């Protein structure tokens, strides 16, 4: 049976969608049948795979409202091992429409029963909230990837997410694990970004992925072309970072993949040798990913590194690369998508490096 991995953090702009799309694509690139499931009404993950959300006939919305079986919403993508279930702006209404549904937190879990047999991995891109959609994802998921933006003060607000995970474990999904905390948009040239990263590691210990996603302009450009970064620029730092993350996820789930497949289905395709590195990791049993090591209430000590300090350091060093390149001109057919990404009314749109961190977002 496949593993369902939710990518969640109620803060917008931390790299959830980027991670969901590129982790899914990188897993698929290793010949693991993978599904990207977009349950964010903003549908950035859908468009990031080249699917125009406004034109999809059947989205996850119809699945959640029970109008169509899950299989009918599955679309193929450019990559042979990657399928997608698109989102649609209609999904905004789903939270309200589902209020009277019996066991409304379990709808996605029930819908995914068959998909678990079809795919090795189902990666779920969650909206930037802890509402019913995210709750459905956490209830359906085996584990959760928590992206944190290395440049902003990353830990603030995480207590709320960890608490939600704990409550989901108590009441809805006792087996939910933390797959890992992922440092995103890391700029190694910013001294303070490294301090933020160190603080995240100090706090979460071995829950933090070894793989770190650097700030990389190719990663930011790729969605405007409707591609995961791997198809847009395979040699970019972003592609390498996300491949490293995929390798780590596979490595941590070898036992899971092999055992489950032995029971449920034909053997999983073995990842190409290039992915196994020294091969040693294959013999290491996966680490338990329980919540035990993670305090529920967020950081005990106040932040030592503040966003303002990082922003000041960046402002003082104009030579450093910042947010997505201004003036990037995507081809005409993608301009509409790109302009949506820049829609100021779009909470999930890129904040630019200058946007201050707001604890309420």
Ligand X SMILES: Nc1ncnc2c1ncn2[C@@H]1O[C@H](COP(=O)(O)OP(=O)(O)O)[C@@H](O)[C@H]1O
Judged by beta carbon, residue 240 or residue 289, the one nearer ligand X is: 240
Query: CB burial class (10 A; 0-12, 13-18, 19+) of residue 344?
Result: exposed
Closest contact distance (angstroms) between CB of 144 and Mg ion is 15
State the nearest-atom distance from the C-beta of 39 to ligand X, in Å.
12
Nearer CB in complex with ligand X: 236/254: 236
b/e sequence 142-169, b meaning 16+ C-beta within 10 Å: bbbbbbbbbbbbbbbbbebbbebbeebb
At closest approach, how far in Å is the CB of 335 from ligand X? 16
180 binds, among ligand X, Mg ion, none (CB under 5 to 8 A by kind): none
Give me the 152-191 binding string for Mg ion, x by CB under 5 A, dash otherwise: ----------------------------------------
- The CA-based diameter of the chain, rounded to the nearest angstrom, is 58
Minimum distance, C-beta of residue 208 to ligand X, in the bound complex (Å)? 16
Could you tell which of Mg ion, ligand X, none binds residue 135, using a CB distance below 5 to 8 A set by kind?
A: none
From 99, 171, 188, 162, select the one nearest 298 (Cα to Cα). 162
CB-neighbour burial class of residue 257 (10 A; exposed 0-12, middle 13-18, buried 19+): buried
Shortest reach from residue 151's CB to ligand X, in Å: 10
Q: For residue 296, give the 3-state DSSP assignment.
A: coil
Residue 128 or 157: which CB sits closer to ligand X?
128
The answer to whether 216 touches 286, Cβ cutoff 8 Å, is no
Under rule CB under 5 A, residue 109 binds Mg ion: no
Compare residues 212 and 270 and give the one whose CB is closer to ligand X: 212
d(CA 244, CA 25): 12
Q: Candidates 11, 16, 88, 334: give the one binding Mg ion (CB under 5 A).
A: 16
Taking CB positions, which residue lies at the least distance from Mg ion? 17
Residue 220 touches which member of Mg ion, ligand X, none, C-beta under 5-8 Å by kind:
ligand X
* Structure tokens given for 283: 């013999």
Write the interaction track for Mg ion spanning residues 322-351; mark x where CB under 5 A is met and - where it is not: --------------------------x---
Q: Which is nearer to ligand X, 166 or 340 (CB)?
A: 340
CB of 237 to ligand X, least distance (A): 9
| Least distance CB 295 / Mg ion (angstroms) | 26
Q: Which residues partner with 180 through β-bridges?
A: 145
DSSP, collapsed to helix, strand or coil, labels residue 316 as helix
Question: In sequence order, which residues have a C-beta less than 8 Å from that of residue 342 and are 6 or more positions away?
Answer: 349, 350
Q: 286 vs 321, which CB is nearer to ligand X?
A: 321
- Residue 159 vs 286, nearer CB to ligand X: 159
* CA–CA separation, 260 and 52 (whole Å): 35
**Chain residues that interact with ligand X, rule: CB under 6 A:** 12-18, 44, 128, 184-185, 213, 215-216, 219-220, 238, 324, 348, 350
User: Checking phi first, is residue 319 left (phi over 0); if not, alpha (psi -120 to 50) or beta?
Assistant: alpha
Footprint of Mg ion (CB under 5 A): 16-17, 44, 348
């Amino acid at each position: 049976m496949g593993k369902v991995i939710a990518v969640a953090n109620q803060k917008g702009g931390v790299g959830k969608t980027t991670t969901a799309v590129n982790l899914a694509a990188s897993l698929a690139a290793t010949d693991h049948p993978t599904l990207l499931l977009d349950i964010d009404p903003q549908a950035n993950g859908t468009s990031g795979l080249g699917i125009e959300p406004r034109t999809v006939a059947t989205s996850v919305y119809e699945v959640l409202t029970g109008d169509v079986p899950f299989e009918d919403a599955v679309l193929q993508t450019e990559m042979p091992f990657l399928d997608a279930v698109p989102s649609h702006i209609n999904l905004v209404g789903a939270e309200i429409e589902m209020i009277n549904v019996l066991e409304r937190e379990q709808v996605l879990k029930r819908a995914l029963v068959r998909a678990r047999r079809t795919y090795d991995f189902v990666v779920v891109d969650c909206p930037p909230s802890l509402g019913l959609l995210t709750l459905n994802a956490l209830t359906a998921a085996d584990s959760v990837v928590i992206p944190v933006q290395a440049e902003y003060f990353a830990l603030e607000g995480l207590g709320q997410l960890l608490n939600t995970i704990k409550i989901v474990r108590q009441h809805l999904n006792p087996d939910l694990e933390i797959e890992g905390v992922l440092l995103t948009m890391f700029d190694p040239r910013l001294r303070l970004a490294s301090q933020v990263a160190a603080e995240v590691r100090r706090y979460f210990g071995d829950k933090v992925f070894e793989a770190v996603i650097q700030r990389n302009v190719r990663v930011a450009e790729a969605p405007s072309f409707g591609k995961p970064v791997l198809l847009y620029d395979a040699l970019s730092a972003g592609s390498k970072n996300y491949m490293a993350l995929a390798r780590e996820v596979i490595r941590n789930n070898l036992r899971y993949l092999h055992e489950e497949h032995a029971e449920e289905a034909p053997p999983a395709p073995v990842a190409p040798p290039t992915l196994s590195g020294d091969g040693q990791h294959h013999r290491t049993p996966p680490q338990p990913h329980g919540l035990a090591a993670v305090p529920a209430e967020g950081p005990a000590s106040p932040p030592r590194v503040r966003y303002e300090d990082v922003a000041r350091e960046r402002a003082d060093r104009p030579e450093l690369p910042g947010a997505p390149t201004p003036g990037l001109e995507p081809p005409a057919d993608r301009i509409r998508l790109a302009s949506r990404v820049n829609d100021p009314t779009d909470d999930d749109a890129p904040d630019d490096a200058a946007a201050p961190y707001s604890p309420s977002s």
